[in-house]
Structure 1
């Protein structure tokens, strides 16, 4: 890698990177503490997985609308406002827990509001990055963002969330509220305007309706074989992955015999792999090509579910989570860079959100699936279903990701990117 990546990426990226890292710490402790909180209130797999359902349902309900709004508004301002709202939201939960007034309904409501904000925040941040760094540095920028978030979100926040929850159940949520405040303040310092929606000088009356613009973004994505395949593929895999992860706290405590700290350590293993993948991702993708990266990732996805279904060893589970972390970082670098590079700037919010709608919209169903299947067929059943689905998806899409097919699809998308929005 280049010896001075920060200098090339520039000071605006450094500010964005710092805000992302601090917010990631708060998100990470909540990701660990929320399942522990609900597990302390109930042992029902369905109720536990309902927390994941509440957090992911907004992707199905609001992601397309969020993309349309992001293309009409200043993306930096959207991120700042969302962070302030999320700070208040998670702060309310923290105070309720401190006063022993927590409830399953309150936790569900808070997670739903946080997820709704995330649909706006993520669409804005993904769409803003190409305006912050040069196009040929997108892989590097995505890798640096992934590395920072991975270190603080999982490697540090994983065990920290478990320790804080064990010491004082309200502490992780109050820390998350503070991280959102700091993130909002840092993003407020980011110079520049990040509004792409309307062509300069175009009369307001000539602008299409919001829903018409959203439909344009969806059609653009669906017209391209590579991006469409990636979105649908990851959407299917995310259903089974969310089903598996929604009951991980129960698998860790009941099958692996881990406590809150051990459960947090599993996320540290995931983060260690994610960090490795983020740090070497740019080099690996350039060395072995995006085609090989995606194909190997599908194999790892399949092995992950198989190992989780068979193993009762915390070490084996930790190892496969670490490998999955490497895969997750590499997959993110490849897919996000493709989306950002090939999509017209004025459509980035809508196309990114359409992609996330297909990729993440099904996660809400996955959360319910995990709880229902685990309740009726045992804790390992969701992992067996995930193994079968991952193996089938790998076989069905293997040829789409050969070098020739990807080159052709990329060329088609690049041509379309120059078309009139």
Structure 2
């Protein structure tokens, strides 16, 4: 891995490897602010769209399976083209990729907002919109370590994560009320506007950079780059374990996919069910905001790596309590606690950056992100089918129990592989 360069911020003193970067340091960097604000705007629109789609489908079908299937459709497209499209981030200028993806998604979501759009075509448009998120996310993930170095990357990731989760919390909770007031199609139109705003912010706030230099002096084919990225990610034991930690979220995100049928068991009328749906969808993001703040500000860089396994287990264990069919307040508390545990992803992400060469980050992050979305989509689809037969409460509990078992196994594997990464963090040149 390339050596960490000195801070670009003027007047900064050398820090020990165990000292944490502050949020004010990363906010002072203009390019980070642009990435941060653009992501917040488009994510807020996405939450409105997810609530709108879930309510539209359940209103038309009354089926938990159909509702979960359309929700899963927002995760499954990366299985088809995500790993290949992610390689664009290592071939072309990352800023350019992000702008083009935002503009294309604005057009597609604008078409989704047409009331006359047939339901089947609506599903096709959802598929295409999510597919475009693969190169966008890969480009942003590869660009962020170039803008933020050392522990500033962790602080920036934590700030971005907390803000994103906060936006999700606001989008799901307030979004349900907004959709109930203005209608589902108008909510989709707002989502299109946020993509346009994100593209404009990237044009104005992120400087142009040349495309990444190809290995060996020439770009390989997209398929060859995909295979090379897969060998890199899955051929290294450390990276393989970190990838599985990332994909663990397929278990603890499952409840969001069946939030509407879960809300039906807790509410009496359609408006109450809509509001409960928003609260349920907002519970985990709320917990993650709290967990990300505590994990990034109160725990040292090496401490995050040591506690990562325990936090991963915490992300799943509370969901088991849903088997008791508790009231809404208890369900919200359990889901928030699971979201708090999900903050372990900060440490996993930072460790992944440590282990991947800078010129391969776009493809590597793209593969991980595509698999992550696919794992969530498959889990939600299975959860929807199971909820139709068993009811939502036992399905959430089963997901928590299965996830806890997997997290415990990963924690043991991580204990055997984390020493080298901890040593690397301790010996970083500030």
Which TM bucket (shorter chain)?
0.7 to 0.9
Q: Name the residue aligned to 1:244.
A: 255
Q: 1:128 and 2:134 equivalent?
A: no
Q: Is the 8 A contact 1:24 1:149 kept in 2?
A: yes
For residues 153 and 6 of structure 1, do their structure 2 counterparts lie closer, same or farther at Cα, with a shift above 3 Å needed? Answer: farther
Q: Is the 8 A contact 1:54 1:109 kept in 2?
A: no
1-side partners of 2:420 and 2:338: how far apart?
29
Q: 1:192 and 2:208 equivalent?
A: yes
1:342-421 alignment to 2 at 5 Å? 342-402=355-415, 405-408=417-420
For residues 103 and 317 of structure 1, do their structure 2 counterparts lie closer, same or farther at Cα, with a shift above 3 Å needed? Answer: farther
Q: 1:315 and 2:320 equivalent?
A: no
For residues 251 and 19 of structure 1, do their structure 2 counterparts lie closer, same or farther at Cα, with a shift above 3 Å needed? Answer: same
DSSP 3-state at the match of 1:193: coil
Shift of 1:197: 4.3
Q: 1:79 and 2:98 equivalent?
A: yes
1:179-328 alignment to 2 at 5 Å? 179-189=194-204, 190-193=206-209, 195-198=211-214, 204=218, 207-235=219-247, 237-255=248-266, 258-286=272-300, 289-328=303-342
For residues 240 and 143 of structure 1, do their structure 2 counterparts lie closer, same or farther at Cα, with a shift above 3 Å needed? Answer: closer
2-side partners of 1:319 and 1:373: how far apart?
23
For residues 150 and 238 of structure 1, do their structure 2 counterparts lie closer, same or farther at Cα, with a shift above 3 Å needed? Answer: closer
TM (normalized to structure 1)?
0.87
2-side partners of 1:353 and 1:216: how far apart?
13
Q: Name the residue aligned to 1:151.
A: 166
Q: Is the 8 A contact 2:97 2:136 kept in 1?
A: yes
Residue deviations 1:265-284 (CA, integer Å, cap 9, x gap)? 23333332222223333224
Residue deviations 1:1-59 (CA, integer Å, cap 9, x gap)? 66662467511111111111211211122222221121111111221111123211112
Q: Name the residue aligned to 2:188.
A: 173
CA RMSD, 1 decimal? 2.6
For residues 292 and 3 of structure 1, do their structure 2 counterparts lie closer, same or farther at Cα, with a shift above 3 Å needed? Answer: closer
Q: Name the residue aligned to 1:417.
A: none
Q: Is the 8 A contact 1:60 1:364 kept in 2?
A: no
Q: Name the residue aligned to 1:109.
A: 124
Shift of 1:340: 2.3
2-side partners of 1:309 and 1:60: how far apart?
32
Residue deviations 1:89-136 (CA, integer Å, cap 9, x gap)? 11122222xxxx355423322321221011111111111101111233
Which ranges in structure 1 are unaligned for 5 or more consecutive residues? 415-421
Q: Is the 8 A contact 2:302 2:422 kept in 1?
A: no
1:14-53 alignment to 2 at 5 Å? 14-53=33-72
For residues 176 and 194 of structure 1, do their structure 2 counterparts lie closer, same or farther at Cα, with a shift above 3 Å needed? Answer: farther
DSSP 3-state at the match of 2:75: helix
DSSP 3-state at the match of 2:316: helix
The correspondence for 1:163, drawn from 174, 177, 183, is 177
Structure whose residues are more often helix by fraction = 1
DSSP 3-state at the match of 1:380: helix
The correspondence for 1:60, drawn from 79, 82, 89, is 79
DSSP 3-state at the match of 2:212: coil
Shift of 1:177: 0.9
Q: Is the 8 A contact 2:311 2:344 kept in 1?
A: yes
Shift of 1:411: 6.5
TM (normalized to structure 2)?
0.86
For residues 303 and 5 of structure 1, do their structure 2 counterparts lie closer, same or farther at Cα, with a shift above 3 Å needed? Answer: same
For residues 394 and 115 of structure 1, do their structure 2 counterparts lie closer, same or farther at Cα, with a shift above 3 Å needed? Answer: same
